[in-house]
Amino acid sequence: MLALNLLLVLAFTAVATAEFVWKHHNNEELPLVLEEVHRKCPNISRVYALTEPSVQNVPLYVIEFSDNPGIHQPYKPEVKYVGNIHGNEVLGRELLLGLAHHLCDQYMNHDRRIRALIHSTRIHLLPSMNPDGWQVSADTGGLDYLIGRSNNHSVDLNRNFPDLDAITFEFERQGISHNHHLLKDLSKLTAPLEPETRAVMRWIMSVPFVLSAAMHGGDLVANYPYDESRSGAPVSEYSASPDDDTFRDLAMTYASCHADMASKSRRGCHVTSSDESSTYNFGKQGGVTNGAAWYSLKGGMQDFNYLATNAFEITLELGCEKFPAAEQLESEWERNREALIEFMWKAHSGVKGIVSDDAGFIQNAIISVVNITGPVPRPIRHDVTTGIYGDYYRLLTPGHYEVTASRPGYFPVSRVITVANSRHTPAILLNFKLEPTSNWFDEESSFGGYGHALRDSQPRIYKRSIYDQVAKSIMNNRPEK
């Protein structure tokens, strides 16, 4: 009995003083670290698992920070970080565990910047998307460039997402204006979805994320869409998305706040002294690269986020070494800390608001934007849509824009805004009140090609859609064979 009491006291002491330790946390320790953060900060955090586990049945744990955990609130953008997608690229996993502790500790320490961030943003951290690969890599000493990269079915998870780039490039070639939420237009899957992919897809499609970063290792660079070349060929060519300016800005925010990602004088990870001018010497280009300009890949998570949802995701290559020694982790945290925080603030750049009518919020209204900063207006051919509270978030770089809210059955409304260069301030607030066309016309046919009807007048080619099949597959927990 005495021994039991002593044990309980010891256990309590251990819990009460549990400090975060920089080391490689295994798959059993990972959820304990997250639970410990939640125990310290119960009012601003929540730990949950994605809808299905890995092939080896390891849950994919997420910790969320918000002043209202578990609830999406209008005007509050949602951000995510995803680590350890390739099992042998482990720095992101440990940085996210450290970040969870940091957010909690600094919130409790009344750090004004962290408190403001958590009060205005809903943050989700998924430290490991590929715990099975991590295990294989850790078991073999973490030394190999490839062992542990894939999941337990030997599938590279960052090639397993539906290839929506091919669809958007085909629409571009045919002059079709449809440019967002393209999963509906998918006509075939080239490979079965892995459980980890399906879990993350379901997460991505069910939470209204605005901003995201996926963490890798093996180089030091912030990589932005598109990852796939326009021809689809495995070549290195710049493949700009409609939001190239914004994506470059997001990538440069991370790179410039990192200790030396953007350093022009640092040596590239894979550059020999005889090859100093190599294009892969990313420091020389500010620590950022377009994905396909580096090398083209199909089925990546980054482009899927942008083309299937309203989320803008970039890919962070966090260092030359994929599995750095435990002794290096704390200094890597110091090198990344500012960048990790500043990047999340970018969810507040641009404009946000609510679209409604007399009856209430309008979900799935379309927000389209024209950049009118220069002499020639430039439409940004990637619309975002409103969520369940009619809320939208449109990331933009500083400049002048015409923003239009539209929805079939309503007159579209446009407003001109100026996005200023400011840090740590909320996005410009721009709400829209739409008026149904039925208030003006008795019959829909009487207004013919007016207004929004023009916007969709171009022919849209519907291939035989497997959206329902895919949606069912990701909404079901039944694993595929």
Residues labelled as active-site residues: 317
Residue nearest to Zn ion (CB): 216
Instruction: Give yes or no for residue 178 binding Zn ion (CB under 5 A).
Output: no
Return d(Cα 318, Cα 220) in angstroms, integer: 5
How many chain residues touch Zn ion (CB under 5 A)?
A: 3
Give the span between the Cα atoms of 248 and 448, in whole angstroms: 41
Output the CA–CA distances (angstroms, integers) from residue 55 to 30, 150, 194, 206, in the order listed: 18, 11, 8, 22
Q: Pick the binder of Zn ion from 52, 78, 89, 163 (CB under 5 A).
A: 89
**Closer CB to Zn ion, 216 or 335, in the complex:** 216
**Min CB(301)–Zn ion separation in Å:** 10
User: Which CB, 84 or 253, lies closer to Zn ion?
Assistant: 84
Min separation Cβ 450 and Zn ion, Å: 49
The residue from 122, 216, 346, 352 that contacts Zn ion (CB under 5 A) is: 216
Shortest separation between residue 152's beta carbon and Zn ion, angstroms: 17
Q: N- to C-terminal Cα distance for the chain?
A: 51
Binding mask 122-161 for Zn ion (x = CB under 5 A): ----------------------------------------
**Smallest distance, Å, CB 388 to Zn ion?**
34
What minimum distance in Å lies between the beta carbon of 3 and Zn ion? 48
Residues 427-446 binding Zn ion (CB under 5 A) are: none
Least Cβ distance, residue 216 to Zn ion (angstroms): 3
Q: Residue 86 or residue 180: which is nearer to Zn ion going by CB?
A: 86
Q: Which stretch binds Zn ion (CB under 5 A): 6-14, 115-123, 215-223, 298-306?
A: 215-223
Residue 21 to residues 25, 33, 89, 101, 373, Cα–Cα distance (Å):
9, 10, 19, 10, 49
Query: By 3-state DSSP, what share of the chain in percent is helix, strand and coil, each rounded to 5?
Result: 35, 20, 45
* CB 354, min distance to Zn ion, A: 38
Q: Is 383 helix (H, G, I), strand (E, B) or coil?
A: strand
Q: List strands edge to edge, sheet with 219-224.
A: 45-49, 61-65, 122-126, 78-82, 209-216, 312-319, 219-224, 288-290
Q: Which region among 70-78, 89-97, 196-204, 296-304 touches Zn ion (by CB under 5 A)? A: 89-97
3-state secondary structure at position 107: helix
**Amino acid symbol at 441:** F
Q: Which is nearer to Zn ion, 216 or 352 (CB)?
A: 216
* Among the listed residues 86, 101, 102, 394, the single contact to Zn ion using CB under 5 A: 86
Greatest distance between any 2 Cα atoms in the chain: 87
Find the angle CA(444)-CA(450)-CA(453) to the nearest 5 degrees.
75
Q: Using the minimum distance from each CB to Zn ion, give the nearer residue, 82 or 369.
A: 82
Contact segment (CB under 5 A) with Zn ion among 58-66, 78-86, 307-315, 334-342 equals 78-86
What are the DSSP calls for 324-351, one per residue?
Answer: --GGGHHHHHHHHHHHHHHHHHGGGSSE
Contact at 8 Å (CB) between 392 and 367? Answer: yes
Considering the complex, state which of residue 36 and residue 89 has its C-beta at the smaller distance from Zn ion: 89
Are the C-beta atoms of 421 and 345 separated by less than 8 Å? no
Positions that interact with Zn ion (CB under 5 A): 86, 89, 216
